[in-house]
Amino acid sequence: MDGYFPLETGRRRTLKAAIGCVGIGLHSGKRVSLTLRPAEAGAGIRFRRTDLGVEIPALYDHVVDTRLCTALGSAEAPEVRVGTVEHVMAALAGCGVNDAIVELDGPEVPILDGSAAPFVFLIDCTGLVAQAGLGLPEAIEVLRPVRVQEGEGPDAAWAMLEPTGGDRLEASLTIDFPGTAIGRQSLEASISPREFRAELAEARTFTLAEDVARLRAAGLAQGGSLANAVVVDGPLVLNPGGLRQADEFVRHKLLDVVGDLALAGAPIHGRFSGHRSGHALNNRLLRALFADRANWRAVPSFTLPQALPAAEYATARQPAMAVA
């Protein structure tokens, strides 16, 4: 069967070779060169700023900003950060990459076409290789419901993780933009590599035309264009080519969920559900999950690798076999 994290027991996956691209940052507007590099088993995903000589682990507790993207940084050096990590994180997680270095020479991951598809293309071009990972946690299993909420009443935004007993991430999300071409959209997905590629990877980021001037005045969306974002003006989609899917908007929001939850440090086995959830709530959800040791356990949990949250793991249990 297809698993969200296809591997043999005790094995991890990294890239066969380095591969890169060049693009611009959605918010910074700056040209950025990005290279995906292999990493040793247990390294997890790490962002390397070659212009500063600094590495930042791709972990939820290193998130420093969630305004229209997820940005990672260091508490010791707040000026050192990497913005818009969610699309490349979604691609790595969706393709089953455990260990990799994301190397870039600027402050933001390039936006490319606004989706995860270009990063999936790079990963597919170089290919993956299994490496010894015996003793390293392969997943994080949700043991009891965890929920976070913003606002009150039926329009409140919320996100939730629940146990399923399964070996992958199940997800459902509803978004609601009344009076626009977006409207109310819902989607359910079982996040396997095959389904990620087919259902989520090509969905592009989007914005409302009325927000563009405000965002640019705030120093955001400096590199945004119709080439890397869907722009909606009331009932109209302004992009000449239209949408890639009728519900591309909710597909992209679910893609963001996959990328944001990948900052757990290992694939999550459980069910995500959300209503109008964004980067901030997704990060709050991970922080709530790891705030209580009764909420989760590592699968298996023999040793604590550097890539996972610095907490004492639960009693080990043998993982179920997941076959690609």
Report d(CA 89, CA 262) in Å as an integer: 6
CA dist 102 and 90 (Å) reads 13
CA-to-CA distance for 98 and 85, rounded, in angstroms? 16
Tell me which residue has tokens 């757990």.
Answer: 264
Q: For strand 146-150 and strand 169-177, is the pairing parallel, antiparallel, or unpaired?
A: unpaired
Cα four-point dihedral sign 33, 18, 100, 114: positive
* Total residues belonging to the chain: 324
d(CA 102, CA 99): 10
What sign does the dihedral 155-157-163-165 (CA atoms) show?
Answer: positive
- Bond before 6 cis per omega within 30 degrees: no
Sheet holding 81-82, edge to edge: 63-65, 71-73, 81-82
Active site residue 279: yes
19-24 and 268-275 beta bridge pairing:
unpaired
Strand pairing category for 100-104 and 128-132: unpaired
Among 87, 252, 275, 279, the one annotated catalytic? 279
Query: At 31, is the secondary structure helix, strand, or coil?
Result: strand
Q: How far apart are CA 191 and CA 161, in angstroms?
A: 14
Catalytic residue positions, numbered:
279
